Amino acid sequence: METKILNKKPNITEQAIEISGSEAVLKSLVAEGVDTIFGYPGGAIMPIYDALYDYRDQLEHILVRHEQGGIHAGQGYARTSGRTGVVFATSGPGATNLVTGLADAMIDSTPLVCITGQVFAHLLGTDAFQETDVINITTPVTKWNYQITDANEIPEIMAKAFYIAKSGRPGPVLIDISKNAQIQKFNYTGYTPCNHIRSYRPKPIVRKEYVAEAAALINQAERPLVIFGQGVILGKAENEFKAFIEKAGLPAAWTILGLSALPTNHPLNVGMLGMHGNYGPNVLTNECDVLIAIGMRFDDRVTGRLDKYAKQAKVIHLDIDPSEVDKNVKADVPVWGDCKETLPLLTSLIQPKKHEAWLKKFSDCTEKEHEAVIQDELHPTSDILTMGEVIDQLNQLTKGDAIIVTDVGQHQMVACRYAQFNQSKSNVTSGGLGTMGFALPAAIGAKYGAKDRTVVAIIGDGGIQMTIQELGTIMQNNVNVKILILNNQFLGMVRQWQQLFHEKRYSFVDIESPDYVAVAKGYRIEGSSIKERKDLSSALKKMLDHNGPYLLEVFVGKENNVFPMVPQGCGVSEIRLK
């Protein structure tokens, strides 16, 4: 990618002053409007931390307990604020500890700028203490990365980093800065925000003839189905999307990252796609005549077997990233561009319709699923608590206004299926990478990104132990997050697969846990644990009403499974209700 920045006139100018590279980094962050940094200091990034001491009134730094916690917190911040998350780490193990979060952010299109310290330039390639080739390590999991060894480059490269991270299809950027560049003095003449880079086109040109072709297909459709992903949220196109589906009466189903772009109770919201999605949108994907995909990438958990996926339908694919179109599912009409621009164009050309008979098929499927699955999950008759009823009780107390941050596993699928959302940017989860340990640090970042909202982290007894040290971050900063552990005393999702597909050979999924309430108390965080239904509502209310962080552990059924389920290797219409 060409590094030349074409806009030469600075938006933020100063008289030439001599400053260090470290101060230039911080001036760049202030100029970009950054207010929060998640990080962990170390030898190779110490000059930047020394300079940060004088910027404490302008930049709030959150000291995490592990660099992976820092980058997941940056992700949570980006997802709830709609801004770019910023993360600091030192060289060597500090930088390599970011890799999981970078991969997670890359596949989930989360804008991040990560700054890593590096050894002195003259030591590069000598296997110096805590030297790692972070550029080559992170190339596959970043949208762009760059190593700075001369302080004069810092303002330009920082501007480019923020522009690339947040423009087009967002993603993580890593800037590695050698220690000599951090302490080097140079003449600083101001900061020029970047808005164009030669050879980099973040948004493809909208082809209006394709928009017209798409509109013609939608107008002719008798059984249209919209499937939407996080692209609607990233494009800030929630209102445009709502206007589009309402004009033509289009049923709309979501991926787990698209969840909350459309209110859960909207009459055209027909539910969740994919392996543990709702019965109707999965089965009827193979009955629709026009499939309209918006800001989603047709991943395998949504499509099941591709040779059995929507073969009867004409496919329209709206996406800002041309590489996603035709990658998995062949599009009859590709509509490249930012959906905030393309959706109004499409809406202006479609005809008002209602599709009442087609919508009834979705409601009939919902009734079938309710009888077979939902009734027992939300209103069980046994004495054993279910994850679904916990989420249902939480809904009643939050009224759909909370931000829900989920880890990865059965609890994630149950929360996505049953949590209620009234507003966008309310569902924060690890989608494409499926990173256990994501939720606790991501919830910290989510709270900093949306300080006026209730944040509830829903985590399994396996995932919580992967990043449990971030309770220290919550303690030190008194981060008001609510931690809800759904403890089934198993690595639940793996156990479910072993039960269904491996003859119940439970191989190393029986996990013992500490006394989570005692652990929380050790971090000066209030908490409680319950096992009986009679205590559920009051325990949840106590958690939500508590002034400060709170941990609630709820013991649920050990061998409860998540249904419906599309078994691996099957088509979406082969979804099992039991």
Q: Are residues 77 and 115 in the same domain?
A: yes
How far, in Å, CA of 291 to CA of 279, rounded?
17
What proportions of the chain, in percent to the nearest 5, are helix, strand and coil? 40, 20, 40
Query: Quick check: is 129 catalytic?
Result: yes
For the domain that residue 327 is a member of, what is the CATH number? Answer: 3.40.50.1220
For the domain that residue 435 is a member of, what is the CATH number? Answer: 3.40.50.970
Task: Evaluate whether residue 375 is within a structural domain.
Answer: no
pLDDT at 483: 98
Catalytic residue among 23, 32, 67, 470: 67
Which of 362, 396, 415 is the endpoint of a domain?
362
Q: Are residues 146 and 240 in the same domain?
A: no
Spatial contact of 489 and 511, defined as CB atoms under 8 Å apart: yes
Query: Quick check: is 130 catalytic?
Result: yes
Q: Where are the beta strands (DSSP E) in 55-111?
A: 60-63, 85-89
Question: In the 8-state DSSP scheme, what is residue 559?
Answer: T
Q: Are residues 178 and 252 in the same domain?
A: no
Query: Quick check: is 387 catalytic?
Result: no
Catalytic residue among 129, 312, 375, 451: 129
pLDDT at 2: 38
Pairing of strands 550-555, 290-294: unpaired
pLDDT at 12: 53
Other CB atoms within 10 A of residue 1 CB: 11
Give the phi and the psi of residue 449 in degrees, each rounded to 5: -80, -20
Spatial contact of 155 and 163, defined as CB atoms under 8 Å apart: no
Closest C-alpha to 552, from 463, 467, 458: 458
How far, in Å, CA of 552 to CA of 144, rounded?
40
Q: Are residues 325 and 461 in the same domain?
A: no
Q: Are residues 358 and 412 in the same domain?
A: no
Catalytic residue among 493, 543, 553, 565: 493
Which of 159, 191, 223 is the endpoint of a domain?
191
Task: Evaluate whether residue 331 is within a structural domain.
Answer: yes
Pairing of strands 12-20, 185-191: antiparallel
Q: Are residues 220 and 340 in the same domain?
A: yes
pLDDT at 94: 98
Spatial contact of 461 and 489, defined as CB atoms under 8 Å apart: yes
Domain that holds residue 416: 385-555
Catalytic residue among 27, 160, 179, 242: 179
Could you tell me the pTM of the whole model?
Answer: 0.95
Q: Are residues 139 and 269 in the same domain?
A: no
Which of 328, 362, 396 is the endpoint of a domain?
362
| 355-391 pLDDT, tens digit each | 999 999 999 999 999 999 999 999 999 999 999 999 9
Catalytic residue among 60, 120, 130, 203: 130
Q: Are residues 270 and 396 in the same domain?
A: no
Q: Are residues 393 and 530 in the same domain?
A: yes
Task: Evaluate whether residue 314 is within a structural domain.
Answer: yes
Residues of the chain with pLDDT under 70: 1-14
How far, in Å, CA of 247 to CA of 120, rounded?
60
Domain count, the chain: 3
In this structure, what token pair is assigned to residue 200?
Answer: 């980099």
Q: Are residues 396 and 256 in the same domain?
A: no
Task: Evaluate whether residue 571 is within a structural domain.
Answer: no
Task: Evaluate whether residue 270 is within a structural domain.
Answer: yes
Task: Evaluate whether residue 196 is within a structural domain.
Answer: no
Task: Evaluate whether residue 491 is within a structural domain.
Answer: yes
Query: Quick check: is 493 catalytic?
Result: yes
Q: Are residues 215 and 284 in the same domain?
A: yes
Query: Quick check: is 475 catalytic?
Result: no
Q: Are residues 158 and 44 in the same domain?
A: yes
Task: Evaluate whether residue 148 is within a structural domain.
Answer: yes
